[in-house]
Amino acid sequence: MKRSIYWLMAGAAGVVVANNYYNQPLLADFALAFHTSERQAGNVSVAAQTGYALGLLLFVPLGDKLERRSMLRVLLCVASVALAGVALSPTLGWLIAASFATGLASVAPQLLTPFAAQLAGPQQRGEAVGIVMFGLLGGILVSRSISGSVAAHFGWRAVYWFAAAAMLVTAAVLSRALPRVQPSYTGSYARLMGSLWTLLRGEPLVRQTSAVAALQFAAFSAFWVTLAFHLRSMDAHYGSEVAGLFGLVGVVGALASTGAGKLIDTRNPHVVVLASSAIFVAAFGILALAGSTIAGLVAGVIVLDLGLQSAHVANMARNMRVRRDAMSRVNTLYMTIRFAGGALGSSLGVWAWSVWQWPGVCAVGLALGGLSMALQLRPQAAAHALQD
């Protein structure tokens, strides 16, 4: 399969996953627009990530049962409607509900990742996953820059009108470009969902990678959901545009995902995950010590994304080797647990900010990152590594 198809998937993954992250640089704007507290505005981000986690659980397993190209078209059209609902929100409650619906429908990237792995075959699977993940992770980071800049010049509602149109364009492009691939599962939806528990119970490697990813993404979300508040509290009172520009800084770290994908094809992925996790924890040390300055924040964001994205790609590649006939379901388990961790981390981050502000956020990140490393250093982790 030509690499160009993987890069097309990567671009689509980035455009769609951005829907869940446009809100993060805008939380302070939401609080001002709806005359509410920062803690209440933070529920917008929690709702988007919770909806995404539920969408992963309900819809992504169908990638093993239904033709993926058709599924993608339907989900993208629904996401476009939900984004229009966000743009039209008259109250904070409406905004939270519409953000939940947006997250629910924006799970296309998690259909594209196993799709790419299936098309690539075992020899290029790590590279294919790395390419698609680079697009996805780049979308997460660049989305913040886009939303911050657009909101600063045209208002936050314009961000979501732009996103709604982008979903329709992406649906049209993927419908024409992607090949049709017959699904591998022929049972009922009830049996399909029941098999998720069987997979989780029977595959210790999936349990380990999912727990590690959930803890790291919780820490990552705690940082990003409070960054706009932290920047506004600094002496210069930086706004949403500066908060969004930190997404571009994070792209430097996201570039590591393609390299990590190639490395995994020739090295033990468990070692890659462990080394990346150590880098991730070190990033919160930088943020705690130097996060009161813009230079310290820039350095911390680069190291944070380098650690997170490399570990994430390595974990994804490990999972794609577990059950080739159930890639979508394995990905469902991993990503649902990961984003449930993200939603919890957003809540913890907003709470820590409300009580201890920036030191509290950094303490949460260090604790969660440290737990992710502790899981990998247990004796059982060595046995799991033998599966790689």
Does pLDDT of 266 surpass 80? no
Does pLDDT of 316 surpass 70? yes
* pLDDT tens readout for residues 352-384: 999 999 999 999 999 999 999 999 887 665 555
| Region 15-38 average pLDDT | 89
**CATH number, domain containing residue 282:** 1.20.1250.20
- Left if phi > 0, otherwise alpha if psi is -120 to 50, otherwise beta: which for 161? alpha
Share of the chain above pLDDT 90, in %: 41
Does any domain span residue 370? Answer: yes
Residue 267's pLDDT is: 66
Does any domain span residue 140? Answer: yes
Q: State the residue range of the domain holding 197.
A: 3-176+186-385
CA distance 331 to 101: 21
Does any domain span residue 181? Answer: no
Question: Regarding predicted confidence, which is higher, 372 or 56?
Answer: 372
Query: Is the CB of residue 338 less than 8 Å from the CB of residue 56?
Result: no
Residue 1's pLDDT is: 58
Residue from 179, 174, 211 nearest 79 by CA = 174
Q: Give the burial class of 295: count Cβ atoms within 10 A of its Cβ; 0-12 exposed, 13-18 middle, 19 or more buried.
A: exposed
Question: Regarding predicted confidence, which is higher, 244 or 181?
Answer: 181
Query: Is the CB of residue 319 less than 8 Å from the CB of residue 186?
Result: no
Residue 182's pLDDT is: 78
Six-digit token pair at 109?
């990237």
Most confident of 119-128, 167-176, 258-267, 335-344: 167-176
Question: Regarding predicted confidence, which is higher, 211 or 132?
Answer: 211
* pLDDT tens readout for residues 274-283: 888 999 999 9
Residue 343's pLDDT is: 82
Residue 378's pLDDT is: 78
Query: Is the CB of residue 67 less than 8 Å from the CB of residue 183?
Result: yes
Least confident of 23-27, 55-59, 155-159, 325-329: 325-329
- Number of domains within the chain: 1
| Region 79-102 average pLDDT | 96
CA distance 183 to 76: 20
Spatial neighbors of 169 by CB under 8 A, at least 6 apart, are none
Does any domain span residue 23? Answer: yes
Cβ density class 211-239: b for 16+ within 10 Å, e for less:
bbbbbbbbbbbbbbbbbbbbbbbeeeebb
CA distance 384 to 387: 6
Question: Regarding predicted confidence, which is higher, 345 or 140?
Answer: 345
CA distance 189 to 335: 19
* pLDDT tens readout for residues 182-200: 777 788 889 989 988 999 9
The two most distant CA atoms of the chain are separated, in Å, by 60
The helix-helix angle for 68-87 and 92-105 (nearest 10°) equals 170
Does pLDDT of 330 surpass 60? yes
Question: Regarding predicted confidence, which is higher, 40 or 322?
Answer: 40
Count of CB atoms within 10 A of residue 187's CB? 11
Does any domain span residue 330? Answer: yes
pLDDT band at 304 (very low <50, low <70, confident <90, very high): very high
Residue 71's pLDDT is: 92
Residue 122's pLDDT is: 63
Question: Regarding predicted confidence, which is higher, 256 or 4?
Answer: 4
CA distance 113 to 129: 6
Does any domain span residue 194? Answer: yes
* pLDDT tens readout for residues 212-233: 999 999 999 999 889 988 988 8
Does any domain span residue 331? Answer: yes
- Which residue bears the tokens 């093993």? 64
Residue 220's pLDDT is: 93
Does pLDDT of 257 surpass 60? no
CA distance 178 to 5: 8
pLDDT band at 159 (very low <50, low <70, confident <90, very high): very high
| Region 102-126 average pLDDT | 81
Average pLDDT over the chain reads 86
pTM: 0.75
Most confident of 135-139, 167-171, 298-302: 167-171
Six-digit token pair at 142?
């660049």
Cα-Cα-Cα-Cα torsion 256, 262, 267, 273, nearest 10 degrees, comes to: 30
| Region 281-309 average pLDDT | 92
Does pLDDT of 385 surpass 60? no
Residue 355's pLDDT is: 92
* Whole-number Cα distances in Å, 124 to 224, 239, 261, 264, 320: 33, 43, 9, 10, 12
